[in-house]
């Protein structure tokens, strides 16, 4: 039996929906959420250096759209431990054929799916259930001086956020990020 996760390329190059194999029995399930060799086999060769874990108490909580600039640009591997999210990646690579385009996926504790977001993409999500916990791996450490963001509801991005997305849940900095047309070239 293969332990390779199922991998689906989304509408942006490098953004992958990864479904690890779940071994289900009467007790529940067992799954390798990350295994370096199996992820390398499906094309995710990043060396992850940090795990981040967030809890959002309120349904409709919006986090993002975040990214880090070089030399600390981050790729992320995102999964949900409890609850569910509408997860989004936006291509912010200057000159890319998909610059400004987004891809999204529903990630939940129930489906076990993960989203791989390469460096050069902004990332954000909206919680679809209360008390949602998200865990994501990054391949570069957090550095405040390299942290940037993109306005989550910029109409030019064309993101169809869930109706429950609540702008009042945003941190002040996330409310004030610039729109895509004002974004400097970072990538």
Which distant-in-sequence residues (6+ apart) come within 8 Å of 93 by Cβ? 99, 120, 121, 187
Q: Tell me the domain boundaries of the chain.
A: 13-18+46-182
Cis peptide before 88 (omega within 30 of 0): no
Residue 132 DSSP code: E
Which distant-in-sequence residues (6+ apart) come within 8 Å of 173 by Cβ? 149
Q: Which helix (H) or strand (E) holds 80?
A: strand 76-82
pLDDT tens-digit profile of 136-182?
999 999 999 999 999 999 999 999 999 999 999 999 999 999 999 99
Q: Where are the alpha helices (DSSP H) in 30-94?
A: 36-41
Residues identified as active-site:
66, 136
Tokens 């108490």, residue?
57
Q: In terms of pTM, does the model score above 0.85?
A: yes
Pick the CATH number of 13-18+46-182 from 2.60.120.10, 3.40.640.10, 2.60.40.1180, 3.10.290.10: 2.60.120.10
| Cα angle, residue 139 at apex, residues 134 and 145 outer, rounded to 5° | 90
pLDDT tens-digit profile of 103-122?
999 999 999 999 999 999 99
- Which residues are 152's β-sheet partners? none
Q: Where are the alpha helices (DSSP H) in 15-104?
A: 36-41
């Amino acid at each position: 039996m293969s332990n390779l996760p199922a991998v689906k390329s989304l509408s942006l190059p490098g953004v992958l929906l990864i479904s690890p194999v779940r071994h289900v029995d009467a007790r529940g399930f067992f799954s390798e959420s990350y295994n370096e060799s199996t992820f390398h086999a499906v094309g995710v060769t990043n060396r992850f250096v940090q795990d981040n874990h967030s809890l959002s108490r309120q349904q409709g909580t919006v986090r993002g759209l975040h990214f880090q600039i070089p030399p600390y640009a981050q790729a992320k591997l995102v999964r949900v431990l409890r609850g569910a999210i509408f997860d989004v990646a936006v291509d912010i690579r200057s000159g890319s054929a998909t610059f400004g385009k987004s891809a999204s996926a529903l990630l939940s504790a129930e489906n076990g799916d993960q989203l791989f977001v390469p460096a050069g993409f902004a990332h954000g999500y909206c919680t679809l259930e209360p008390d949602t916990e998200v865990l994501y791996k990054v391949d570069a450490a957090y550095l405040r001086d390299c942290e940037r963001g993109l306005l989550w509801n910029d109409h030019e991005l064309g993101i169809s956020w869930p109706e429950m997305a609540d702008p009042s849940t945003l941190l002040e900095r996330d409310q004030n990020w610039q729109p895509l047309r004002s974004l400097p070239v970072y990538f």
